[in-house]
Amino acid sequence: MSSLPEYRLLTRPELDEVLSWAATEGWNPGLADADAFWAADPAGFHGMFLDGQLIGSASAVSYGGKLGFVGLFIVRPEFRSRGLGGAFWSYFIQHLETRLAPGAPMALDGVFARQAFYARGGFVLSHRNLRMEGIGAASLVRDRHVIELSRLPQEAVETLDTVHFGVPRPAFLESWLRPPGGLALGWLSDRVRGYGVIRPCQNGFKIGPLFAETPRIADALFQALSAHAAGKPIFLDTPENNPAALALANRHGLREVFGCARMIRGVPLALPWHQIFGVTTFELG
């Protein structure tokens, strides 16, 4: 067996394999996540190979050169504790740097146990994103302002998303807003003031993102999305720096089951965290 691993970009089928690893790790990816991830940045997924065998993975996605997001950093268990992960990390971080504009930040949602490792790479803790779990609840009445996202102007949805994500991500949204077996809803009054998506996962359903200008709007969207998964497990990744998001989760009987540290290298984007009730995904931001 060779002692030196090789690195290269993943193919689309290899990304499916990596997401199966993520499921084994307990991260509960969405059933169709790979399509949206690939659409976001086909050149953003890296593999570590030993004698032709895929043994490690990472996403290092560039959003138009304005933001880098790191995720899916996995080394297969039988190859851990050999010093392979650190060298692989250096490789794909340096690769991402070449694809970002000068001064553009990088971010990640890393498991708490790896915070010290990411800190050595220059990433600074912003806050914790907590995965909350509950059971979808049927709702007899949907708020009249809540409508199918497909009925809203795409430009208005993308504008709202950019405000809350920080940079445009139209290719990602093209796939993410049409989840097979899921549902995407928006809040419309005088304009679009919030939206949310629920998608089927390995276990139950995840809601993400959940962006809303007020807690009331967030609650109405959450209830309508929850009804889509009535009687089934639902998950919401809530930013701990938005007390209203945690209050919403608690109000609907969700409990903390997992979490990640949002860490950033460089100057953070100015995001309205008080309007972010659920992040999109731990893997791509």
Q: How far apart are alpha carbons 207 and 182 in whole angstroms?
A: 10
Segments in the chain forming alpha helices (H): 12-24, 33-40, 84-97, 115-120, 154-165, 170-176, 215-228, 243-251
Copy the structure tokens of residue 146.
């809540």
Whether 6-129 shares its CATH topology with 131-278 is answered yes
pLDDT at 2: 59
Tell me what percent of the residues of the chain surpass a pLDDT of 90: 96
Task: Indicate the pLDDT class of residue 214, thresholds 50, 70 and 90.
Answer: very high
Q: Name the residue ranges covered by the structural domains of the chain.
A: 6-129, 131-278
Q: Of 246, 177, 189, give the one whose Cα is nearest residue 215.
A: 246
Q: Is 170 exposed, middle or buried (0-12, 13-18, 19+ CB in 10 A)?
A: middle
Classify domain 131-278 at the CATH topology level.
Aminopeptidase (3.40.630)
The pTM for the full model equals 0.95
Using N-to-C axis directions, what is the helix angle for 215-228 and 243-251, rounded to 10°? 40
Q: How far apart are alpha carbons 218 and 285 in whole angstroms?
A: 19
pLDDT at 157: 96
Task: Indicate the pLDDT class of residue 83, thresholds 50, 70 and 90.
Answer: confident
Q: Is 168 exposed, middle or buried (0-12, 13-18, 19+ CB in 10 A)?
A: middle
Q: Does residue 41 carry a pLDDT above 90?
A: yes
Q: Candidates 2.60.40.2140, 3.40.630.30, 3.40.50.300, 1.20.1250.20; correct CATH number of 6-129? A: 3.40.630.30
